[in-house]
Amino acid sequence: MMLPLPLGGAYDYAVGDEALRPGDFVEVPLGNRLVAGVVWGAGDGRVDMAKLRPVAHRLSARHLPEVSRRFVDWVAAYTLAPPGAVLKMAMSVPSALEPVPPILALRLAAAPPAFKDTAARRKVMEAAGRLPPLSAADLAREAGVGPAVVKGLVEAGVLDVVELPPPPAFAPPDLQAPRAELSPGQQDGADTLVAALGGGFSVQLIDGVTGSGKTEVYFEAVAEALARGKQVLVLLPEIALSAQWLDRFRRRFGVRPAMWHSDLGDATRRKTWRAVASGEAAIVVGARSGLFLPFHNLGLIVVDEEHDPAFKQEDHVCYHARDMAVVRARLGGFPVVLASATPSLESLANVQAGRYGLIHLPDRHAGAVLPDIVPVDLRRYPPPRGRWLSPQLVAALEEVMAAGEQAMLYLNRRGYAPLTLCRTCGHRLQCPHCTAWLVEHRSAGRLICHHCGHHIRLPPKCPECEAEANFAACGPGVERVAEEAALLFPNARIAVMTSDTCSGPHAAAEFVRRVSDHEIDLLVGTQIVAKGYHFPMLTLVGVVDADLGLDGGDLRAGERTHQLLSQVAGRAGRAERPGRVLLQTYQPDHPVMRALRSGERDAFIAREAEARRDAGMPPYGRLAALILSGADVGIVESYARTLAKAAPRTEGVQVLGPAPAPMALLRGRHRRRFLVQSARSVNLQALLRDWLARAAPPKSVRVQVDVDPYSF
């Protein structure tokens, strides 16, 4: 029996008379409560049958398919998470297992007995004769009478109570809806995908510049899978922000797909979970957790923006949804499609090794040209003191505003200023719970920790030297850039788009509408503006600080910055109007800037890949991080020493650490990190399991294993 508990493995229970099969949902006693779980298989017979508690009862007619159970086991073994923690993701809506209450309705009895006739009763019978079966309340409303009249007719036997089948939760997609005429290159790609659907497991990477029609191409595969009666899962990095994607889907398939993300209410989650399990939901578009839905008959997964770091979950079960999508497809024996304008180095390496197929779309649709990307050397053309926009960028903004077009300024920093310090003593305002500065959000009148949410008002005195408040805001955030833009362009309609100003799907959709309808001239935003939006009048993108994210000694920094800036740049000039991108940088000769300017992505990635190979880092070597955390720094450090002494000394395995983790203090917990690096031939999971078994942590220390960490 597997229970969806964060620490659990399999538990043994006695099975009574009821015939149970693996995959059945059951309720079992645990301590003094009942918990829902799944029959996983027969026990190994090592426990004394007489001591086992019995299963309480079977929960519903639903069943967790074998492939879903194998997937849970696989993910648990790979990530070293307890299987119960993985199962918890598959059983994320416990109430979905409750029986569905029947829908009762009233209709005229076929042979009604004699009854007392009144005008009110006649109205009800007239309505019941004219309309399909309705609930008592609806029927009373339709007939324009009180509920007692209807009730009286039921008691008199004139109206029968019937049970209605539940209404369909999701309308089936329309496969005949008109579709775009594909270009020859797009059609080749679509043909490849459609052919793949006939042939079991495979991975196809669509590598195409922004605007090349990747979505149109994979929609063809979606249509084919649906036509074959299969369910389809499309994973998007930030589902809440994809109103434009949903519109396109509706235009192509005539319906809204089922959606799966963290912003859904309980009733919707329940409805969707059930419809996925029954097969009624033919297509689901979801964030990474959609992978764990109990699909009845899944036949295709698409991972759009496959390079996006949002696919990596870094708490509880640390997994990468792209990689686990590939595993899920292999277990299910069907194809998976990855799409990106800037594919991950991992996926490109898999193409090179011949493991993944490649569909290349090098051109923008309808002859739209890629924007011109020009670095602006801030050493030669610095902005005025206390300003952040260089003369070049200001001049370009002037042209665009004069032409009545739109511009976007991109800076991946929420708030007004990333650092606030005391002019008297130099003290920096810091979060007491995290290794992080407090970020001033002037619009909210607060300083906020972006890691734990701790916030304060600007203090009247410096907490360090107690001098009267005399704080300096250092560096720019989006609010400050918007302030500068408003000074330069007092007539422009300027809006700031960040997770602060646009949280939730409705706010995001409204923002997108305002930009599309040209109610905004100048958009200032963080990386949420970089995602897949298509704004035809947007012709200039200014990257305020292109160097942000390049330092820090992270081996993935170059790749990540290149991806992010390519995505941002892709927002410019998506229609007839050509676009321009200015990158403000102090390192115009950095390989990332060169690659962006020349468009020579492949040469850049090849060099990055070489650096990874030389360092023995993924995808050429294996890597796992072990993060120990606890409130008491002494206990954490002492356990770290114990673990270090027990570290594996295997040939081909290198253990680095313990060292302070990148966030050495987070939400009040002290964090130390080990990195374990090995050749690809080493079974890293077995090695980590042995190691942790040799030195179990004290109760107050949490050990988080992250196989394939995103940053290294």
Nearer to ligand ADP, 250 or 534 (CB): 534
Nearer to ligand ADP, 213 or 630 (CB): 213
Q: Which entry of Zn ion, ligand ADP, none binds 175, CB below 5 to 8 A by partner kind?
A: none
Q: Is there binding between residue 272 and ligand ADP (CB under 6 A)?
A: no
Answer with the entry of Zn ion, ligand ADP, none that 182 interacts with (C-beta below 5 to 8 A by kind): ligand ADP
The entry of ligand ADP, Zn ion, none near residue 684 (CB within 5 to 8 angstroms by kind) is none
Cβ–Cβ under 8 Å, residues 154 and 161: yes
Binding mask 409-448 for ligand ADP (x = CB under 6 A): ----------------------------------------
DSSP per residue over 516-574, as a string? HTT--SEEEE-GGGSSS---TTEEEEEES-TTTTT-SS-TTHHHHHHHHHHHHHTTS--
| Shortest spacing between CB 503 and ligand ADP, in angstroms | 24
Q: Which of 60, 92, 135, 183 binds ligand ADP (CB under 6 A)?
A: 183
Answer whether 535's CB lies under 8 Å from 574's CB.
yes
CB of 173 to ligand ADP, least distance (A): 18
Q: Which amino acid is at 434?
A: C
Residue 211 φ then ψ, to 5°: 85, 10
> Footprint of ligand ADP on residues 523-542 (CB under 6 A)?
534
DSSP E strands in 212-297: the ranges are 231-235, 258-260, 283-286
What single letter denotes the amino acid at residue 707?
Answer: V
474 assigned ligand-binding residue: no
- Evaluated on CA atoms 244, 245, 249, 250, the torsion sign reads negative
List the single partner that 62 binds among Zn ion, ligand ADP, none, CB under 5 to 8 Å by kind: none
CA atoms 327, 330, 336, 338: torsion sign: positive
Stretch that binds ligand ADP, among 72-80, 176-184, 307-315, 607-615 (CB under 6 A): 176-184
Q: Of 417, 474, 450, 446, which Cα lies nearest the Cα of 663?
A: 450
Q: For the chain, give the number of residues.
A: 712
* Residue 449 contact, options ligand ADP, Zn ion, none, Cβ 5-8 Å cut-off depending on partner type: Zn ion
Which long-range contacts link 16-19 to residues 24+ away (Cβ below 8 Å)? 16/54, 16/55, 18/55, 18/57, 18/58
Q: Cα 634 to the chain's mean position, in Å?
A: 36
Is 304 or 521 the residue whose CB approaches ligand ADP more closely?
304
* Residue 180 is a binding residue for ligand ADP (CB under 6 A): yes
Q: Which CB sits closer to Zn ion, 454 or 597?
A: 454
Site for ligand ADP in 207-236 (CB under 6 A): 208, 210-216
Structure token pair of residue 626: 């072990």
Q: Tell me: does residue 181 bind ligand ADP (CB under 6 A).
A: yes
Which partner from the list Zn ion, ligand ADP, none does 594 bind, CB cut-off 5 to 8 Å by kind?
none
268 vs 435, beta carbon nearer Zn ion = 435
318 among annotated binding-site residues: no
Contacts of 216 (CB under 8 A, 6+ apart): 179, 180, 182, 186, 365
Report, in Å, the least distance between residue 548 CB and ligand ADP: 24
The least distance separating Zn ion from the CB of residue 368, rounded to whole angstroms, comes to 44
Among 18-26, 151-159, 182-190, 543-551, the segment contacting ligand ADP (CB under 6 A):
182-190
Q: Which of 611, 471, 504 is nearest to 261 (CA)?
A: 504
- Nearest distance, CB of residue 181 and ligand ADP, angstroms: 6
Q: Of the candidates 110, 116, 114, 94, which has an alpha carbon nearest to the alpha carbon of residue 33?
A: 94
Does 517 participate in binding ligand ADP (rule CB under 6 A)? no
Nearer to ligand ADP, 189 or 658 (CB): 189
Beta strands in 647-701 (DSSP E): 653-666, 669-679
Pick the piece of the chain touching ligand ADP (CB under 6 A) from 43-51, 178-186, 650-658, 673-681.
178-186
Q: For residue 331, give Cα distances in angstroms to 70, 82, 661.
A: 8, 20, 35
Site for ligand ADP in 532-591 (CB under 6 A): 534
Minimum CB–partner distance for residue 288 and ligand ADP (Å):
19
Quick one: DSSP state of residue 181? P
| Partner that binds at residue 433, options ligand ADP, Zn ion, none, CB closer than 5 to 8 Å by kind | Zn ion
Which among 218, 196, 199 has a CA at the least distance from the CA of 207? 218
Q: Which partner in ligand ADP, Zn ion, none is near 55 (CB below 5 to 8 A by kind)?
A: none
Q: Which does 186 bind (CB under 5 to 8 A by kind): ligand ADP, Zn ion, none?
A: ligand ADP
What sign results for the dihedral spanned by CA atoms 103, 105, 109, 110? negative
The entry of Zn ion, ligand ADP, none that residue 451 binds, CB within 5 to 8 Å by partner kind: Zn ion
Beta-strand relationship, 446-448 and 653-666: unpaired
Applying CB under 5 A, the residues found at the interface with Zn ion are 431, 433-434, 449, 451-452, 454
Q: Which does 365 bind (CB under 5 to 8 A by kind): ligand ADP, Zn ion, none?
A: ligand ADP
Q: Compute the half-sphere exposure of residue 691: CA atoms within 13 Å on the CB side of its CA.
A: 26
**Cα distances (angstroms) measured from residue 21 to each of 26, 40, 42, 135:** 10, 8, 9, 38
Look-up: residue for tokens 């997770």?
A: 499
φ/ψ region of 442 (left if φ > 0, alpha if ψ in -120 to 50, else beta) reads alpha
Beta-strand ranges (E) seen in 599-648 are 621-630
698 phi-psi bin (left φ>0, alpha ψ -120 to 50, beta other): beta
| Minimum distance of ligand ADP from residue 308's CB (angstroms) | 13
C-beta of 275 vs 538, nearer to ligand ADP: 538
Q: Which of 93, 182, 359, 543 binds ligand ADP (CB under 6 A)?
A: 182
* Site map 191..210 versus ligand ADP, x via CB under 6 A: -----------------x-x
Residue 204 or 704 with smaller CB distance to ligand ADP = 204
Q: 215 or 585: whose CB is closer to ligand ADP?
A: 215
Binding residues for Zn(2+): 422, 425, 431, 434, 449, 452, 462, 465
Where along the sequence are the contacts to ligand ADP (CB under 6 A)?
Answer: 180-183, 186, 208, 210-216, 365, 534
Binding residues: 422, 425, 431, 434, 449, 452, 462, 465
